[in-house]
Amino acid sequence: MEDYVIDIEAENKEIRKRYRALLRACKPTLQKGDKQEIRKAFDLALESHKDMRRKSGEPYIYHPIAVAQIAAEEIGLGTTSIVCALLHDVVEDTSLTLEDIEAQFGKKVAKIIDGLTKIAGVFDPNSSIQAENFRKMLLTLADDVRVILIKLADRLHNMRTMEFMARHKQLKIASETSYLYAPLAHRLGLYAIKSELEDLSMKYTDPDTYKFIAKKLNEKKAEREKFIEDFISPVQEILTEQNIVAQVFGRPKSIHSIWNKMRKKSIPFEEVYDLFAIRVIIDTEYDKEKTECWKVYSIITDLYRPNPDRLRDWVSTPKGNGYESLHTTVMGPRGQWVEVQIRTKRMNEIAEKGFAAHWKYKESNTDNGLDQWIQKVREVLSNPEQNALDFLDDFKMNLFSDEIFIFTPKGTLIQLPNGATALDFAFEIHSDIGATCIGAKVNHKLVPLNHPLQNGDQVEIITSSKQTPKEDWLSFVVTAKAKSKIKSSLKEEKRRVAEDGKEILERKMKSLKLTYNTDNINKIANYFKYPSSQELFYNVAKGIIDIKNLREYVASEKVTELAHHNQFNSHISGLVEKIDKKNSDTILIGDDFQKLDYTLAACCNPIPGDDIFGFLTVNEGIKIHRTSCPNASKLMANYGYRILKAKWASSQIDHSFMTGIRIIGIDDVGLVNKLTSVISQEFNVNIRSLSISSNEGIFEGNIMVNINNIDQLDSLIHRLQLVAGVTSVTRYESEN
């Protein structure tokens, strides 16, 4: 136990204080008898967790109280959710069962808590426990969205209090958060929570960039506030004149969204103009909302010139997650573009509290996009055999995308994700229409199945009873529904063909005097490098494997038996040789930091000094990635159990590593010469490859160089930035 003395009296006082604060947060939704229910849940949680402490040494009960507080205050949930938030860890961490919960609090609470309880045990080894847990949670979402909302509150509190955890756990949880939970919060319309989750994830996965942007934001704070004040005061004046009751204020953009902009546009911090947005929140009645929003829009655009390409109208057609707002970008008083968001109090509450606020305004909101979305989740989940990781990828794709609106021939409006094709539209109408679709008419013109749809298209589907889903369809559909339906019908077709192949193989094996048993089937599948016996049967039926190939297998079996012993010995010594050759003591891997064989991942080219981790791949041994690698969050979120700690043995290593530098500048005679002489002569660094493009006077070069460590790379980048004509130099990560 830690060597500090615990003051039980002070802690009990603090618990009572936090509980009272929670009750104050619940006040707006309390009905008769609710207070007693919350008290009963609190007492049970207090008793169940009484001997438990968090990593920080605090009493464990602080966590459930905080989760309940977030659920009440920041999401606006009611009593049932508060009770579930208080009890969310009780079944997992103590001897209490779901039956006990049901007896005391009823079926509904027990069901939600079941959805919040992690799945124990190991699944199919090719799958991932994290993915399965996420899937289980979504299954319950289809019944009750509160499971996800409480889970988000739980995740937010864990992210806010993660500094006491081990570094590898921080990385895993942060990656999972940015990969799954932040986009989910976005999809449920919880923008404030989404931004905070993204910022907190970045704080742990890329601490240097996070601190750099936070510091820069802080430096210019006073200047920004003055600009906002100058921008707002004339707007406020006219609003008052016209008797429009509205709040106008500046809202800073999140660190994560600023970093995204820097990365996407390859620009330094100084060139990110929209570090904040101006928000106008109008207090008006429901039936006047639209008119008032456009009135404010016209006032602002009379004062400041708008950018016509940047008007976003989600007031006439709200987003699928219920978001309503009018966005425009205008030229501010100092020649700077400023984003302005115009919405009413009701719209703002829906934007901040997402799904929970929808219930409150349900009567006035006729077409609820979120209900449709949950219906889609149900459809995706209804495909029972889908591998949990495939499911996550399909699901994520649909989470991230913005919507386009498509009309049927009769004028019905159908929402699809951006990038959807005519075939996605066919599946959206009905699975059978999708499966038999041979083409479509978009705005009365005939188009192929892979034709990408644009907002406002009118689409008519053409079908044929002879058509069946094809493998290549998967390459151009984007909706989870289309993907899962195509996959399951292809699986079905493959299974039928494989059944025939099984009989053919049995006959062929008989003629070669091979016993037909599982062991031999697996050996043959292994020999032809097929992952399963079904693949083998399928390829036999298709004629890819015939009697000639089987004879080769029989011959090789005889040779293999003799060679097996020698081969094993040489494989072992080969590995040892490889380790010596690789000078593997540059990186130490695992909990006890051993010297193991590894390869550096090509997607992020780590160099000494980078924050790194090891990933145990299926066929290529251990790969070393940077923690800020574009693929890292996906690997950590899905395969947390295959992540290994890794660190550089020393940052002074005598051999070099490949990394990329991207240089953007004004094209000028001799620029390439200047750059290469800085790299080769001043820094004595080898250039491995150089690709340069010049477009309308803008020069862009991607240079792969051999570097010893991060310090050398930093000084090289700094020196290249000083070359005349160069506007930006960044470390280049491969996009694959």
Phi and psi, residue 396, nearest 5°: -60, -40
User: For strand 599-600 and strand 622-626, is the pairing parallel, antiparallel, or unpaired?
Assistant: parallel
Please tell me the distance from the alpha carbon of residue 362 to that of residue 354, in angstroms, as a whole number. 12
Residue whose C-alpha is closest to residue 458's, from 411, 426, 503, 500: 411
| Catalytic hit among 7, 93, 163, 472 | 93
The tokens 């902009």 sit on which residue? 261
Please tell me the distance from the alpha carbon of residue 508 to that of residue 285, in angstroms, as a whole number. 79
User: For strand 612-616 and strand 622-626, is the pairing parallel, antiparallel, or unpaired?
Assistant: antiparallel
Work out the burial of residue 603: count CB atoms within 10 Å of its CB; fewer than 13 is exposed, 13-18 middle, 19 or more buried.
Answer: middle
Contact, 171 vs 625, CB < 8 A?
no
Please tell me the distance from the alpha carbon of residue 380 to that of residue 386, in angstroms, as a whole number. 9
The answer to whether residue 92 is catalytic is yes
| Catalytic hit among 92, 163, 499, 620 | 92
Please tell me the distance from the alpha carbon of residue 584 to that of residue 621, in angstroms, as a whole number. 14
DSSP codes joined into one string, 422-476: HHHHHHHH-HHHHHTEEEEEETTEEE-TTPBP-TT-BEEEEE-TT----GGGGGT
3-state secondary structure of 338: strand
Please tell me the distance from the alpha carbon of residue 490 to that of residue 484, in angstroms, as a whole number. 10
The answer to whether residue 93 is catalytic is yes
Please tell me the distance from the alpha carbon of residue 610 to that of residue 615, in angstroms, as a whole number. 16
Residue whose C-alpha is closest to residue 126's, from 618, 635, 492: 618
Please tell me the distance from the alpha carbon of residue 272 to that of residue 111, in angstroms, as a whole number. 47
Instruction: Identify residue 83 by its one-letter amino acid code.
Output: V
> Catalytic positions, please?
92-93
